[in-house]
C-alpha cells in the first residue's frame, strides 16, 4: 500500500504545485489590470491513519484565496469618471442581466448607447437618484439603486424654485417720501434697486426687478417690491403688470434682520413658486452693497462633463455653467471581504462566509472616500510572484522525483518473480 500511496502522494504534490503555478500565472498576467486582487494558493496536509508498523502516505490539498482586502496603489488620470476608493468600501455594479456585484475596478466611462457609466468589463455603476431629494437607503440591501444614467439629462431645463438674496441696506438712508413703488406710478420712489435672473418652466430667462424702500427709522423698516422686468417702461416705472410680491422686513438696533420668516415669496411668470431667502441681510452704516444673489434652475443646455465628489455625489455639468446633482454613489462592504467569491471582470459576489452586505455612503465609517480621477492598481507584487514561481517549479520537480522513484520500486517488485 505504501508504494501505491507514494505514487498518489507524489501526484497530489504535483497537482498542488500546478495550482500554485496557475495562480502565479494569473497574477503575473493581471499585474496591470485595474482593481485586480492577487490569488494565493494555500496548502494543507491530508493525513491517513497508519498502524504502528507501517505508514500510509497521505496527500496535500490546496485552497485558493484572493487578497481582496489588500488595497492596491492609486494612480491618477485625467478622467473625472475614473474612480478609486480610499478605504475599505466597494462600488456596486450590475451586469447586463441586472445581477449586482461588488468591485474596486473604477475605470468608468459613459456608454453612448445607454447613457450609463460602465467600466472596462461592461459592468454598470449603480447609485441613488437624488434629483428629487435625499434617497431612501436600505442599510443591509441594494433596494433603490439604479444605473447612473445621463441619457435623459443631456438636454434639460430646470425652473427656479429657490434662491438667496442678501444685501446690506444703508442705515443712513432717508425714509422714502412720496409714492412707494407702484406699478402704475411713474414717479415711484425707492432707496435701492437690484435685478436678478430666474428661469421659467421651459428654461426662459426671467428678470426680476427688486426695489428696496426705507419706510421707517425706528424701528428700521424696509419694503421689498418685486416686478417682472418684461413689463417695465424704458427699464422702470410704470410696469404693465402688478407687483409679483411686496414684503416688509425689520431690523434691530444692531442692524440684524428680525423678520420671521426672512424671505420673499412669489411666483415666476411662466414658472414655479419660489422663495428668496433674505437671511444674512444687514442694516449697517455702509453703502447699499449686494452680497449674495443666487438661484437654482437653468436654461436648456447639454451636458459638458461629469464631476464626482468624495462623498459620492455625481454632478452633471452643463455647457451654460449649471452644475446639477443627479446621483449619489454608495459604498458597500462585508464583514469578511477575503471570503467574497471572485468572478471574471474583477467583480465579487457575496457568500455565506463573507457575511451579508452593508451599504452606506462615502466618508462614513471605514468605507472610505471616493477619489475622482484616480484608479486602484493591481495589488500584485511581481518580485514575490517570480519567487513563488521558482519555488513551485522546484517543488513540482521534487514531487515528480517521488513519483518516478515509486514507479521504479514497483518495477523492482514486479521483477522479483523472474
- Quote the cell numbers at residue 246: 411686496
Residues 172 and 232 in one domain: yes
> Is the model's pTM score more than 0.75?
no
Domain with 282 in it: 160-296
**Of 357, 286, 346, whose CA–CA distance to 137 is shortest?**
357
Region of 363 (left: φ > 0; alpha: ψ -120 to 50; beta: rest) is: left
Tens-digit pLDDT profile for residues 115-152 = 899 999 999 999 999 887 888 888 888 888 999 998 87
DSSP for 299-327 reads: EEEEEEEEEE-TT-EEEEEETTS-EEEEE
Residues 191 and 244 in one domain: yes
Would you say residue 1 has pLDDT above 60? no
Instruction: Give residue 292's pLDDT.
Output: 95
Q: Which helix (H) or strand (E) holds 21?
A: helix 2-29
CATH code assigned at 241: 2.60.98.20
| pLDDT band at residue 9 under the 50/70/90 scheme | confident
Under a CB-based contact definition with an 8 Å cutoff, are residues 168 and 281 in contact? yes
Residues 413 and 362 in one domain: no
Residues 244 and 308 in one domain: no
- Quote the cell numbers at residue 191: 432707496
Q: Over pLDDT 70: what percentage of the chain?
A: 99
Residues 343 and 392 in one domain: no
User: Which of the two residues, 380 and 158, has the higher pLDDT score?
Assistant: 380
Residues 152 and 164 in one domain: no
Residues 248 and 168 in one domain: yes
332 C-beta neighbours (distance < 10 Å), count: 23
Tens-digit pLDDT profile for residues 34-75 = 999 999 998 888 777 776 767 777 788 888 899 999 999 999
Residues 371 and 410 in one domain: no
Residues 214 and 275 in one domain: yes
- Looking at residue 261, the DSSP 8-state letter turns out to be S
138 C-beta neighbours (distance < 10 Å), count: 12
Mean pLDDT of 87-91: 94
In 217-253, beta strands by DSSP E: 220-228, 232-233, 236-239, 245-251
- Residue that is last in its domain, among 239, 261, 296: 296
- Residue that is last in its domain, among 258, 276, 296: 296
Instruction: Give residue 61's pLDDT.
Output: 87
Would you say residue 329 has pLDDT above 60? yes
Tens-digit pLDDT profile for residues 188-225 = 999 999 999 999 999 999 999 999 999 999 889 999 99
Instruction: Give residue 131's pLDDT.
Output: 80
Tens-digit pLDDT profile for residues 258-296 = 998 899 999 999 999 999 999 999 999 999 999 999 999
Residues 201 and 233 in one domain: yes
Tell me the pLDDT of the chain averaged across its residues: 90
- Residue that is last in its domain, among 296, 313, 342: 296
- Quote the cell numbers at residue 27: 497574477
In terms of Cβ atoms closer than 10 Å to its own Cβ (0-12, 13-18, 19+), residue 40 is: middle
Residues 174 and 288 in one domain: yes
Ranking 186-190, 327-331, 404-408 by mean pLDDT, the lowest is 404-408
Would you say residue 300 has pLDDT above 90? no
Residues 212 and 255 in one domain: yes
Instruction: Give residue 417's pLDDT.
Output: 66
User: Which of the two residues, 1 and 29, has the higher pLDDT score?
Assistant: 29
**Of 121, 14, 19, whose CA–CA distance to 348 is shortest?**
121
Q: Look at the chain and report how many structural domains it folds into.
A: 3
Would you say residue 226 has pLDDT above 90? yes
Amino acid at each position: 500500500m505504501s508504494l501505491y500511496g507514494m505514487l498518489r502522494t507524489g501526484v497530489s504534490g504535483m497537482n498542488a504545485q500546478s495550482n500554485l503555478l496557475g495562480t502565479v500565472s494569473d497574477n503575473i498576467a493581471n499585474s496591470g489590470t485595474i482593481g485586480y486582487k492577487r490569488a494565493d494558493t494555500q496548502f494543507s496536509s491530508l493525513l491517513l491513519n497508519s498502524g504502528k508498523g507501517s505508514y500510509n502516505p497521505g496527500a496535500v490539498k490546496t485552497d485558493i484565496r484572493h487578497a481582496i482586502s489588500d488595497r492596491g496603489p492609486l494612480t491618477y488620470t485625467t478622467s473625472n469618471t475614473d474612480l478609486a476608493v480610499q478605504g475599505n468600501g466597494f462600488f456596486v455594479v450590475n451586469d447586463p442581466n441586472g445581477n449586482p456585484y461588488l468591485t474596486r475596478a473604477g475605470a468608468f466611462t459613459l456608454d453612448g448607447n445607454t447613457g450609463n457609466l460602465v467600466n472596462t468589463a461592461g459592468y454598470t455603476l449603480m447609485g441613488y437618484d437624488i434629483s428629487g431629494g435625499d434617497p431612501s437607503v436600505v442599510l443591509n440591501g441594494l433596494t433603490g439603486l439604479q444605473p447612473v444614467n445621463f441619457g435623459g439629462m443631456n438636454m434639460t431645463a430646470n425652473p427656479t424654485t429657490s434662491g438667496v438674496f442678501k444685501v446690506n441696506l444703508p442705515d443712513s438712508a432717508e425714509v422714502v417720501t412720496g409714492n412707494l413703488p407702484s406699478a402704475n406710478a411713474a414717479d415711484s420712489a425707492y432707496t435701492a434697486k437690484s435685478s436678478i435672473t430666474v428661469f421659467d418652466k421651459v428654461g426662459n430667462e426671467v428678470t426680476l426687478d427688486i426695489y428696496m424702500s426705507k419706510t421707517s427709522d425706528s424701528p428700521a423698516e424696509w419694503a421689498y417690491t418685486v416686478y417682472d422686468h418684461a413689463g417695465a417702461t424704458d427699464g422702470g416705472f410704470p410696469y404693465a403688470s402688478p407687483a409679483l410680491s411686496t414684503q416688509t422686513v425689520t431690523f434691530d438696533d444692531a442692524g440684524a434682520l428680525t423678520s420671521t420668516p426672512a424671505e420673499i415669496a412669489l411666483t415666476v411668470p411662466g414658472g414655479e413658486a419660489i422663495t428668496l431667502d433674505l437671511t444674512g441681510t444687514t442694516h449697517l452704516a455702509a453703502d447699499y452693497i449686494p452680497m449674495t444673489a443666487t438661484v437654482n434652475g437653468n436654461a436648456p443646455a447639454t451636458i459638458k462633463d461629469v464631476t464626482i465628489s468624495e462623498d459620492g455625489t455625481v454632478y452633471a455639468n452643463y455647457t451654460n455653467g449649471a452644475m446639477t446633482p443627479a446621483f449619489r454613489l454608495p459604498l458597500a462592504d462585508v464583514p469578511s471581504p477575503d471570503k467574497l467569491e471572485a468572478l471574471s471582470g474583477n467583480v465579487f459576489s457575496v457568500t455565506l462566509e463573507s457575511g451579508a452586505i452593508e451599504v452606506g455612503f462615502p466618508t462614513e465609517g471605514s468605507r472610505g472616500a471616493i477619489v475622482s480621477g484616480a484608479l486602484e492598481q493591481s495589488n500584485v507584487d511581481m518580485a514575490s510572484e517570480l519567487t513563488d514561481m521558482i519555488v513551485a517549479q522546484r517543488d513540482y520537480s521534487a514531487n515528480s522525483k517521488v513519483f518516478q522513484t515509486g514507479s521504479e520500486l514497483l518495477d523492482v517488485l514486479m521483477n522479483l518473480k523472474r
